[in-house]
Structure 1
């Protein structure tokens, strides 16, 4: 899933981006309201998280336009503390309203609730249902085996890092497993057939990895 985060505080933007990317979301960042709308019209986003007070166009106007053009969820961030402000934001179509300061983990949980993704990790077009031990591709249950699920979960938890066959045997099959490393190749091949050939990268002579879409 893809998330737009708009805030003119660069430190806040950097921190929130890191938290959401760690959960497997693709993040588009904007430093003002106009840039936020440019991203909204250019990219396919699932959720917009926008600060109320921003240069060029405030978060409420951004929210109003997004809601007029789509059914996408909008979460408003604000330093304002009056109840009337929350009512105003909700009246304009905001789906959620969070006052600053807040812990980034709280925001991630609220965002997941809005997206209906409280129990999963999203990576590209794959959703990992951690509690149900299931893999979904574009909403379709892939009927993954336990090993395939563990393998995909392991790759996403170590996103951006090459994992050797030996490391994968230890992480997925367990330290007490003494099978052939070619077992890994067989399961990766079967997993690719389900999640898509381009999701898992082969690094010849090294191992496998999954990478962010922009890498």
Structure 2
């Protein structure tokens, strides 16, 4: 899923970007309305999170333009508290409206609900429950570790895409991780032992991908 996050407060953009990347989203970020529209026209964006008050072009005007040409979902963020502002945002096409300050986890939950992200994935005898952070094979709990579950969730979000070791480290361990890239191989081998070795494909010199039929 591709998400566009736009806010002229860079620390806010950075916080939301980190949270959404942890959830497996591919994040595009901008700090004003012009940058936002440039990214939107050059990439397939599934959902946009737009701050209302921005230089050059406001979030509301960006929302209006996005909605005029696409079905992209839009969440408006704002420090404004007037009910009339919420009505204005919804009337010009915004799908949701969140007042600042907010918990980033709330934004993620609303975005997932809007995109109807599945909570359970069934792959033959394997069941992955994203809500409880558990995986089962033939009904038996595989007792995945936190890292193993984050890996499988990341793979599911990027189904079919080759992810390098460094990319997996950024998404699962975090950007501040300090350690060997080969750590990824160890955890993937353990995960394969639990879920089966065919789902995770190795691409020599490139990384790993998660392959399954819908």
CA, structure 1 residues 132+52, in 2 after alignment: closer, same or farther (shift >3 Å)? same
The answer as to whether partners of 2:48 and 2:73 remain within 8 angstroms in 1 is yes
Matched length: 174
TM-score (norm 1): 0.67
Larger Rg: 1
Structure 2's unaligned 5+ residue stretches are 122-127, 155-167, 170-180, 210-214
CA, structure 1 residues 154+10, in 2 after alignment: closer, same or farther (shift >3 Å)? closer
1:191 alignment partner in structure 2: 199
Alignment of 1:74-93 (within 5 A): 74-93=74-93
CA, structure 1 residues 132+106, in 2 after alignment: closer, same or farther (shift >3 Å)? closer
The answer as to whether partners of 2:3 and 2:49 remain within 8 angstroms in 1 is yes
1:37 matched to 2:37: yes
Cα distance between partner residues in 2 of 1:37 and 1:145: 47
1:163 alignment partner in structure 2: 184
CA, structure 1 residues 120+22, in 2 after alignment: closer, same or farther (shift >3 Å)? farther
**Could you report, residue by residue, the CA deviation over 1:31-83 in whole angstroms, capped at 9, with x for unpaired residues?**
00010000110000100100000010000000000000101101000000000
**Could you report, residue by residue, the CA deviation over 1:72-127 in whole angstroms, capped at 9, with x for unpaired residues?**
10100000000000000000000000000000001100111111116269xxxxxx
Alignment of 1:106-185 (within 5 A): 106-117=106-117, 119=119, 130=130, 153=149, 155-156=151-152, 159-160=168-169, 162-165=183-186, 167-168=187-188, 170=190, 173=193
CA, structure 1 residues 116+52, in 2 after alignment: closer, same or farther (shift >3 Å)? same
The answer as to whether partners of 1:80 and 1:99 remain within 8 angstroms in 2 is yes
2:102 alignment partner in structure 1: 102
CA offset at residue 152 of structure 1? 8.2
Structure 1's unaligned 5+ residue stretches are 122-127, 134-143, 175-183, 211-215
Structure 1 residue runs of 4+, over 6 Å off?
144-147, 149-152
1:24 matched to 2:24: yes
The answer as to whether partners of 1:155 and 1:209 remain within 8 angstroms in 2 is no
CA, structure 1 residues 145+34, in 2 after alignment: closer, same or farther (shift >3 Å)? farther
TM-score (norm 2): 0.68
2:62 alignment partner in structure 1: 62
What's the Cα RMSD here?
3.7
CA offset at residue 129 of structure 1? 5.7
Cα distance between partner residues in 2 of 1:77 and 1:31: 13
